[in-house]
Structure 1
């Protein structure tokens, strides 16, 4: 390559050269430089080196770049024109110059250049420079646009669709990018129109569903030719699409609406999810219950379905009101007339006496009932009112989500008790007696002494001819004293000792020492859980019913005959909950959690029992799968008791014989946690069921390691089903497990086959 400059020697142009020299002072020398390209079979690397010298740019040559090039220029080129010719030469030879981050260019084969960092945007880019551009679409779908534009992209370029932003990412040469952008501007136009069809007789949702099924799809990845949306509040159908398609759909909608006006007045609605027995009273209340607002016939707003009557009536029935003045509020119920009632079949009976409800403005009557043999509702009403009721039923007949409510009840307690006391008894037959008796001492010295002296009470001593004769007889009082002493001794706890000695004739002295130490620790963990539908109350009880005496009376004829009234009381763990799923996966829980147990009798002299009861009744809002603490109790109760005989108990040292001491220390730590889990579909239910099933299965396996869990046998043999497994998860098979599968699933492994390894 040779650099040449032109010279003008003619005298005629010397003045022009002088002027050009003056202009050269104001124009950069580099911009005025002219270069001529004339290379034949030159090495590509030498060609790149000359381009770097002329353009002042840095080029990084890939090791794969090899070969020779030939370029012939008929006229001098500026620096920018030289760079453009350089890029065109690379492109013609299957090469490309990709800009790097530091301003240099990487010369490499064009294959794979689209994945390299390139210039973003075409502003200031050379025609043969590889660039990246983002084209945002407004009307057409990005996936469909890729299929249309892919043949126009060069083989070195690439085009992808960004579905989330409905845009295209294109990597190609700048000159081809301009052609693609111009084509996108032509095809990315919204030619669709909208149309609203107001319905008078048919339901908007029903018409929209029918029309949607008739619309042909726009092909794979494309949009449908039209879109139909039901507007329930206005009982209208909103359509968007091509004009010809909308015209055909509008004609169909009007024909169906006109046909609905002459349709039958009795309709059976088969419910998919809602309960007909629950839904019928709601419809009856709307048709013939409380007061509302009457709307003139033919209006698009919801029309009053009940009989006329004052909206201020406190007990509105189906009939019996008076017609209000024009423009005044008219109730869907009645004024002071007869009240409506629901018969066993679900129909509302009012003043007509036939189950029919008189409608406003003399439009006729309506009858709503349910079919007991199926989950269905029968509506007999004029077409317009029937349509409104049908739309209401369809809005209410939706699948209900379920909620699993899990509770964790933790109670840790430590009970320590100490008792020490001395009891004395002094007395005899036909003589005064003295006794020290303390309520916290067991057994009671009076009970024990009564049993020991029972034989003395049954003995009679007489003197016959100077000789003393003792006669022993069995009395009822003696037997009762012995039985009472035996029961008290057997019921006593701890250690006790004593003596009973005779002092003189029929005089006795006794003493009883008791010492009791009790240590009781408990750690109770309970996890009741229950599953219920949204807004449906549910309860679960683990425990028993115990009899509780609520009253006692003596017979007026025989005072020995006692009458007692008994009621049953639940004792155990009880959970009552009503979940309500709110927005944002928040669950409102109206719940009552109770833990109760029998603590024993009130005293040794009474059969009335003491029931320990811990109850929480509250309303909380918890996130899905969130654990929250409902409440709890931290109780540290210490008691010290001292019972003594006045004066004698105050004597130093010896006073301890006339005292009874007791000490108890009870610590209780109770906490209740709750967690709701929303189950929206079958996969959620399967996952939670598999988790609970796995807990029971693992417990049975740990109890009997060498045997197949009994719950598997029950499910497979009795229910004829397979064990629950979470969706998308395989059953973990441990060494020693037996694989049981239906014969249709394939051959079973041989008996001597090695068990599969644990994943």
Structure 2
């Protein structure tokens, strides 16, 4: 056996061992030579070379050189491509480096998951997939789909086969559409329909587009508030998670407050708050909203920061208070004691304005039962609110600007359009004039006294010359005589019943009327008992047609007993009475051929002053009626000349005088009104009917209503 082959085997063995144990810093060739030197003996001195012929043992120790073939590559190309390996528990490790997409698909879809797949030839590129620890099948698919997305490719499923196609062709392959609860499992792009609960679909799209893959949001349905998205399972999971973060009941997180305004307009306050908080442009944009509410005259505050509510409330109160001096608004003053038109007229007089009523030039924009008062007009400066009455509160000299007052007659109220500051000043005036008015209860007796021989000079002479024991006092007879000829005296008496009883003993007394009237201070009270009589006022006929009918114009005239009294009370408790009394009778017209009755009138009109509770007697209207009564003996009275002996003629002259007794009772409040009513009720017997009697000396039945 030759020793050369043996030495070669030994050499390569040594080289292999040396290669495994080579020290750092030395190349493979150097390490091999060093190893050979360590195993051979050094040459002896005087060695001149090998002998020409050597023995077999020497041949075994001879070294003829060594050779090692290198790779010729001096840059590392990385670790070699390996397959996906499983650990037997359903988890896998990936170690794909620069693997073509087709190889990666085979390793993941084919070898690991055992799925049928197709790779579109248009999909090119390499992927590197490595995991540091085993991952599940779902994670394995997600890793592959993420790597494919980098290469503009994706996985879609059709008929149980998965296709790797360009992303632009994904939707053309009609991926499955579902809702999250029924989404199919497995790799590939899927389409899901998400139903939003609280957030608007358009707003959700705006949120998703920056944080998802381009084209992930396919469609937005604002009507049904749904959004359609597409992507892999991991993409869809991320989208659903984002939706769950933002699709919440935002109203539960919002803080809301409603602030009513006293003087300001909601639109103006909301605009000022927008500027203060910078809701349009600034750091507070969309963090807080101010919504004006005209119906409630308030501002609605909506904010995502609860702390902003207190700040907003502070500013709203400040702005509302500042606007009291110049913000016009509508106030309603409910009148308590006076008519709306009357109080409006008084207010306009105090403020130096005019009252506009329906039908005046320029028209009116209010209903007929409402009277507007123009507080200021062009070219006219209203008088200051300081009124002439000393009882009114002192005001400054500034008049209300552009204030308007409307008298609501239907509801007896005043509608005042002005600022809050001016309304406070106007309200002070109204509270002074809108007070409970003083009332006067007027007890009157209208009687007709027949003037006989004892009274032939009239009742005035009778009272002045002591014809009765009744105490009377002359009051203002000169003024009465100058005002009304024929009505020339007035007396104050203590007791009406006693006076009438005294007169009834010497003559006939006819009580025409005995009214009791309750009248407001400075208000006219009218009592009328009688008839309306038609009076012919005009006749006309067509002169061109003799047979034309005659057209008569008729006017109705009030007759009977008409009493009109206007009481005026002063601070001393005395009552001034404006009295107008009319007693009229209807008689046949004998003085002309006019077919119309004649009205006989006795009328009194005067003004007197009397103390509270004192009776006043007014008289002096004397009327004389002349009548002729003729009678005869039948047949004999008709004989000429001698018939006069059987005839009788009586000329009767009847003179009467009208006398009026009035007693006022001042009623200042409800308690006094109740007392007067109880007193009057006690004087009248409600159990016995009142019997009216006219004429005669027995006056008791006529005076049952006047139990003084």
TM-score range, shorter chain: 0.3 to 0.5
Which structure would you say has the larger Rg?
Answer: 2
Task: Give me the TM-score of the superposition, normalised by structure 1.
Answer: 0.33
Q: TM-score, normalised by structure 2?
A: 0.35
